[in-house]
């Protein structure tokens, strides 16, 4: 036993939170091993003492503590790294891997921070994968809900759960996904790392996975023959596959009458189209195809651009890039600072640029409409895709005018 203890001390000598604590049970010394940042040592000692009072001997104690007893040294090391408590006897003949009384490192169930459900429950997923799966089982209590668990990664082993409804999700899709997940050898640190495991979508504006923090959206996706992934320490459910139509429809839409839900989706389509083509149309109609305007409208546009030294394309690119930088700054900055940046960037800076004759009033109206319209789609990630797609359309419009917009 001393050899195992010395080996553990040597292996984890540079870990300040590693502990080897001695405990006296039946006049015999046992060792408690683990990380005090993961295991509550005080409560764990109390638990071992309580179990010892119910056991007739040290051997009985180990049997009562755990079903994983007398494992080898390699498994002991893996158990300690996984956050378990390892109990060793002094004579070296017995050991046990115990589910510890863990430190509280998880958030409770909170309200969603990235999505705003309307007339729906306000629960949101957290970092604990078991709690996330439990939120789904609580709402979808059927034996057809299947749960598959995986360990993925090379250096960082992470739990990955796959949920689907038996009989709804196609068997061919389940088998293909199961094969792809089992072939993952690299570490999965981000959602995009997992997304890349399913291949690249070169011509599609959406990714394979759709991230949501709402249980109601996950249940709706499961009923629509989708597969849902939960990644440990990731407060989102990942719906697979993610289709283009998912950018325009949400589970919350079903809380409204049918006519209203259809109108909401129509408005989202209008928002996507406006985001993509409004800046391009401005450039095309002002610089390439001004003959499309009626005379009075052409004179109005010409007057609004009077004295502006930049071309319509450079003017629009400058405004679009500036607005995207402001939106990115709002996302990254603390909430206490974000509204101030919005005020400075959206109002003061825009008005100053108009008064300085750097951009036209008409372009400011167009860009404002684009910012509002781009927020109508479902999901932050989808909104970023739409923001990105407007740049190639803008370039085509500056080269070929309206034909470039229609060609895209």
- Edge to edge, the sheet with strand 68-69 lists 18-25, 28-35, 85-89, 95-98, 68-69
Residue 57: pLDDT above 60? yes
Higher-scoring residue by pLDDT: 152, 251: 152
pLDDT at 200: 64
Residues 155, 255: Cα–Cα separation, whole Å: 44
What 3 state SS string does 58-118 have? Answer: HHHHHHHHCCEECCCHHHHHHHHHCCCEEEEECCCCCEEEECCCECCCCCCCCCCCCCCCC
How would you class 199 by CB atoms within 10 Å of its CB: exposed for 0-12, middle for 13-18, buried for 19 or more? exposed
Q: Looking at residue 231, what DSSP letter applies?
A: E
Q: Helix crossing, 58-65 with 41-53: angle to 10°? A: 120
Q: Which residues contact 280 (CB under 8 A, 6 or more apart)?
A: 390, 393, 394, 396, 397, 404, 405
Higher pLDDT, 147 or 111: 147
What is the average pLDDT across 167-194? 87
CA dihedral 302, 303, 306, 311 (to 10 degrees): -30
φ, ψ of residue 200 to 5 degrees: the values are -105, 140
Mean pLDDT, the chain, rounded, equals 83
The Cα 340–Cα 333 span in angstroms is 10
Q: What is the pLDDT of residue 338?
A: 67
Strand, coil or helix: 241: coil
Per-residue pLDDT, averaged over 22-36, amounts to 85
For residue 156, count other CB atoms closer than 10 A to its CB. Answer: 11
CB-based contacts of 99, cutoff 8 Å, min separation 6: 66, 84, 85
- CA–CA dist 237, 217 (Å, integer): 9
pLDDT at 382 over 80: no
- Across 34-38, 195-199, 266-270, least confident range: 195-199
Would you state the pLDDT for residue 48?
A: 86
Q: Is the pLDDT of residue 360 over 80?
A: yes
Q: How far from chain centre, in Å, is Cα 214?
A: 11
- What are residue 134's phi and psi, to 5 degrees? -65, -35
Please give the backbone phi and psi of residue 386, each rounded to the nearest 5 degrees, phi first. Answer: -65, -40
Average pLDDT of span 114-120: 75
DSSP state of 253: G
- Look at residues 194, 207, 203 and name the one whose alpha carbon lies nearest to residue 246: 207
Q: Please check whether residue 62 is in contact with residue 29, taking contact to mean a CB–CB distance below 8 angstroms.
A: no
Q: 285: buried, middle or exposed (CB in 10 Å: 19+, 13-18, 0-12)?
A: buried
- What's the pLDDT at 107? 67
pLDDT at site 162: 92
pLDDT band of 345, cuts 50, 70, 90: low
Digit-coded pLDDT (tens) for 139-178: 887 888 899 889 888 877 888 999 999 889 899 989 999 9
Statement: residue 5 has pLDDT above 60: yes
């Amino acid at each position: 036993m001393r050899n195992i203890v010395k080996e553990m001390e040597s292996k984890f000598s540079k870990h300040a939170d590693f502990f080897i604590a001695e405990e006296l049970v039946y006049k015999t010394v046992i060792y408690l091993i683990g990380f005090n940042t993961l295991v509550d040592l005080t409560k764990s000692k109390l638990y071992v003492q309580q179990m010892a009072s119910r056991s007739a001997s040290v051997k009985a104690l180990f049997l009562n503590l755990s079903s994983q007893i007398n494992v080898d040294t390699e498994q002991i090391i893996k158990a300690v790294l996984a956050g378990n408590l390892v109990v060793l006897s002094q004579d070296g003949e017995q050991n046990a891997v115990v589910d510890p009384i863990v430190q509280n490192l998880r958030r409770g169930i909170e309200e969603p921070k990235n999505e705003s459900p309307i007339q729906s429950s306000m629960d949101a997923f957290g970092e604990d994968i078991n709690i996330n799966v439990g939120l789904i089982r609580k709402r979808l209590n059927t034996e057809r809900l299947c749960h598959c668990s995986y360990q993925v990664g090379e250096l960082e082993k992470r739990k990955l759960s796959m949920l689907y409804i038996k009989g709804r999700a196609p068997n061919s899709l389940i088998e293909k996904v199961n094969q792809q997940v089992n072939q993952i050898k690299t570490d999965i640190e981000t959602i995009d790392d997992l997304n890349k495991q399913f291949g690249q979508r070169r011509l599609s504006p959406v990714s394979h996975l759709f991230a949501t923090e709402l249980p109601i959206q996950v249940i709706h996706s499961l009923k629509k023959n989708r597969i849902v992934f939960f990644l440990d320490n990731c407060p989102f459910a990942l719906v697979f596959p993610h289709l283009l139509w998912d950018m325009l429809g949400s589970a919350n839409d079903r809380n409204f009458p049918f006519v209203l839900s259809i109108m909401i989706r129509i408005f989202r389509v209008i928002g996507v189209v406006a985001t993509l083509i409004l800046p391009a149309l401005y450039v095309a109609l002002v610089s390439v195809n001004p003959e499309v305007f009626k005379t009075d409208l052409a004179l109005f546009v010409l007057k609004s651009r009077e004295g502006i030294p930049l071309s319509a394309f450079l003017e629009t690119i400058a405004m679009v890039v500036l607005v995207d930088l402001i939106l990115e700054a709002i996302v990254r900055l603390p909430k206490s600072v974000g509204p101030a940046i919005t005020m400075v960037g959206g109002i003061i800076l825009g008005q100053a640029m108009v008064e300085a004759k750097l951009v036209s009033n008409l372009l400011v109206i167009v860009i404002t409409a684009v910012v509002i319209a781009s927020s109508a789609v479902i999901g932050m990630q989808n909104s970023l895709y739409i923001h990105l797609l407007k740049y190639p359309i803008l370039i085509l419009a500056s080269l070929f005018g309206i034909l470039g917009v229609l060609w895209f």
